[in-house]
Structure 1
Amino acid sequence: MGRLVGRLWVGFTLSLISFISYSSQIFIIWPWYGRTLSIPLLKLLVPFNILVGMIFWNYIWTVRTDPGTVPKGWKPDLRSSEGYEVKKLTGAPRYCRTCERYKPPRSHHCRQCKKCVLRMDHHCPWVNNCVGHFNYGHFLRFLFFVDVACSYHFIMISMRAWHAMNASGFWQGPSTSELVFLILNYAACTPVLLLVGGFSLYHFYCLASNQTTIEGWEKDKVATLVRRGKIRDIKFPYHLGVRRNIRAVLGERAWLWCWPQPMRGSGLNFPVADGTGKWEEFHRDRSRMGDYNGSRHRAHEWSSTDADVDESGTNGGRGGSRLRSVEGGDLV
């Protein structure tokens, strides 16, 4: 049943994109230009169709790309200088009792996908997939092209509406079918532009700050506790600078950022900024606050669960984690 519902979501999304993209051209713009192929018509529609093509391309990549799962048999390297997350109570590496695998940093278990997802951001029903390490770049490009194409579409049909309102003769006004599709296109495009536009702004902020949606919730809660004076201020460890953050997701070459390309890295470890105190201070301070751990679990319970248990299967505590250094001691 779940797979069927997921496919229905994808089918609905593709249908909505197709309706907005092609009904406007066939029933509004084509009649407006006298149903005759011309240079002005091509100048108007060719860029729009390129944008639509990029929407479909990046959407399919987002749907079809595995966001990344923990390799079978993977274990954190205790000798490595790369950080790994541990449970606050036992100091043991995080372990998912559902998947029966260790959990790398920034990974979470998705109940819908029934697996631990690398650098999990959220589970998106619109793509019937988790958005994680290997498809986050495709997801961002999809949002970007939806924003640009919807803006182009809105301006394009508004030009037709403006021309109709200022028509000097009856023959220049829209027909009944044109008027109906103008209304339908406004009704379909405007909510998409507003909702996806707002959603995109948040994710572009996440891109610039190198944080996931789940980590954003954590940061918000920590900021609240800092304001209340319950913990000291903690700097987010994965913020490497805006330029490096963007390159980590969209690639090294800026001129290819809008072009679909594979994600770099394994998703099992991530560089951290110098002098941030790493996750150790961040989670050590938050672990003192029981209300924070409970709120955090409830906040993303809809998409993930931190089943952090020992390899033997006994519960070793949820949520809190820290980084250990190459010597095995806590990073300060």
Structure 2
Amino acid sequence: MRWCPGSVLHLLRTVRFQLCCRRGKNRLPLWIREIWAYVRLLVQSLYFSSLTDSDVVFDSIFEPVFVTVDYVTRWFGMVFVCLVVILTSSIVVIAYLVLLPLVLNTYSPAWIAWHICYGHWNLVMIAFHYYKAAKTSPGYPPTERNNRPFVSVCKKCIMPKPARTHHCGICNRCILKMDHHCPWLNNCVGHFNHRYFFSFCLFMTLGCVYCSISGRNLFLDAYNAIETKYQTSAPPYTFKDKMFHKTIIYMWVLTSTVGVALGALTMWHAVLISRGETSIEKHINSKERQRITKCGKVYKNPFNYGRLNNWKVFFGVEKRSHWVTRVLLPSGHAPHGDGLTWDIFPVKKHLIPV
């Protein structure tokens, strides 16, 4: 077989082009090649097996978005915590420097005692429960089995998962009785700090409502004073008067806004606690309830012990005095159970009637 010079030259050019392409691919940064390989894996997973459904397709397509959100939330965790501390501290400073002198000069002794006692009790409860919710570990399943029962295997940790345990993409590990990951705590809300989280939300809401109601008349006076200054030829205010009016308006707007938003969240979690559910279990139980209903049966949440008993288990109330010492006062007692095993349906021997 004879080779013409043109064919040989063409072959050499083709080989050189392929080598250049391969060399160019190898010169790509490692993170680009990793992303490209990950995208190819996601596309291949869409037709991996006959079990693929709309949920699998949705999770696969939006997995890069979820990973990005988890990364940003993890990175901004301390920023959110600092924001909570700064905003709360600003309200406390205003209360001590602006409101307290006004209360001492204008209110009766009975109202002065009420405001001082309630305000300091509310502040202590907020600070205690926020610190405990942020610093207390939510609880993690053991890395070894130890002959403990488990209901599934985590597809990301490749480790056995006890009942009510779910994987947190932000913490990158499984959480016992996981409710959600709270960026304002920079921590997951799980079995061991769920009570602290809810108590913080409850007392923060009560504190915001207290400030909003108590400062309503002051807010109206400050707002009308500023409006009068700009719309009429009234004498100018001093710097102290301006700061007083602006701090009152800032405090009332902030506490009212947070009170409404956080109050709605607190009510939502109160409903879930009454049902013996977490935020994640709410969605799981809804789907399971629909599936069971199609079969002509009634779905029952196995972790629902009854409305009152659910609150007793949640707060760790074992006798009447615990409603005061463990609910209305700061308490660091451990929750009911270890978070690894759970009683299925009401077990009265573990619930002391109060």
TM-score by length of 2: 0.64
Task: Report the counterpart of residue 53 of structure 1 in structure 2.
Answer: 124
**Alpha carbons of 1:76 and 1:203: their partners in 2 closer, same or farther (altered >3 Å)?**
farther
* Residue 32 of structure 1, CA deviation: 5.7
**2:320 pairs with 1:254:** no
Deviation sequence 1:54-78 (CA, Å, 0-9, x none): 1011000000000000112025546
Other structure's SS at 1:190 match? helix
Structure ranking higher on relative contact order (CA contacts 8 Å, 6+ apart) = 1
Task: Report the counterpart of residue 156 of structure 2 in structure 1.
Answer: 98
Residue 195 of structure 1 aligns with an amino acid whose one-letter code is A
Aligned counterpart for 2:284 among listed residues 218, 230, 255 = 218
Aligned counterpart for 1:127 among listed residues 175, 181, 185 = 185
Other structure's SS at 2:195 match? helix
Aligned counterpart for 2:170 among listed residues 88, 93, 112 = 112
Aligned counterpart for 1:241 among listed residues 306, 325, 339 = 306
Other structure's SS at 1:245 match? helix
- Does the aligned pair in 2 maintain the 1:121–1:213 contact within 8 Å? yes
Residue 280 of structure 2 aligns with an amino acid whose one-letter code is I
**Alpha carbons of 1:181 and 1:138: their partners in 2 closer, same or farther (altered >3 Å)?**
same
* Residue 254 of structure 1, CA deviation: 2.2
Equivalence map 1:16-165=2 (5 Å) = 16-31=87-102, 33-34=104-105, 40-74=111-145, 77=148, 84-85=150-151, 94-161=152-219
Deviation sequence 1:180-215 (CA, Å, 0-9, x none): 112111221111101110000011111111101001
CA distance in 1: counterparts of 2:304 and 2:187, whole angstroms:
26
Query: Can you give the 5+ residue segments of structure 1 that lack an aligned partner in the other structure?
Result: 79-83, 86-93, 276-332
**Alpha carbons of 1:136 and 1:274: their partners in 2 closer, same or farther (altered >3 Å)?**
closer
Identity across matched positions, percent: 25
**Alpha carbons of 1:267 and 1:186: their partners in 2 closer, same or farther (altered >3 Å)?**
same
Larger Rg: 2
Farther-moved stretch of structure 1 (30-39 vs 200-209): 30-39
Aligned length: 256
CA distance in 2: counterparts of 1:19 and 1:155, whole angstroms:
18
Other structure's SS at 2:196 match? helix
Residue 243 of structure 1 aligns with an amino acid whose one-letter code is L
Residue 45 of structure 1 aligns with an amino acid whose one-letter code is I
- Does the aligned pair in 1 maintain the 2:222–2:246 contact within 8 Å? no
Residue 183 of structure 2 aligns with an amino acid whose one-letter code is P
* Residue 160 of structure 1, CA deviation: 3.1
**2:334 pairs with 1:267:** no
CA distance in 1: counterparts of 2:168 and 2:296, whole angstroms:
30
Farther-moved stretch of structure 1 (249-258 vs 10-19): 249-258
Residue 209 of structure 1 aligns with an amino acid whose one-letter code is R
Farther-moved stretch of structure 1 (60-69 vs 264-273): 264-273
CA distance in 1: counterparts of 2:114 and 2:98, whole angstroms:
18
Residue 254 of structure 1 aligns with an amino acid whose one-letter code is W
- Does the aligned pair in 2 maintain the 1:9–1:125 contact within 8 Å? yes
CA distance in 1: counterparts of 2:223 and 2:248, whole angstroms:
13
Other structure's SS at 1:48 match? helix
**Alpha carbons of 1:10 and 1:63: their partners in 2 closer, same or farther (altered >3 Å)?**
same
Other structure's SS at 2:76 match? helix
Residue 215 of structure 1 aligns with an amino acid whose one-letter code is E
- Does the aligned pair in 2 maintain the 1:95–1:101 contact within 8 Å? yes
Query: Can you give the 5+ residue segments of structure 2 that lack an aligned partner in the other structure?
Result: 1-70, 226-234, 348-354
**Alpha carbons of 1:206 and 1:32: their partners in 2 closer, same or farther (altered >3 Å)?**
same
- Does the aligned pair in 2 maintain the 1:28–1:160 contact within 8 Å? no
**Alpha carbons of 1:22 and 1:226: their partners in 2 closer, same or farther (altered >3 Å)?**
farther
CA distance in 1: counterparts of 2:92 and 2:99, whole angstroms:
11
- Does the aligned pair in 1 maintain the 2:272–2:279 contact within 8 Å? yes
CA distance in 1: counterparts of 2:276 and 2:290, whole angstroms:
20
Q: Of Structure 1 and Structure 2, which has the larger fraction of its residues in helix?
A: 2
Task: Report the counterpart of residue 297 of structure 1 in structure 2.
Answer: none
* Residue 95 of structure 1, CA deviation: 1.4
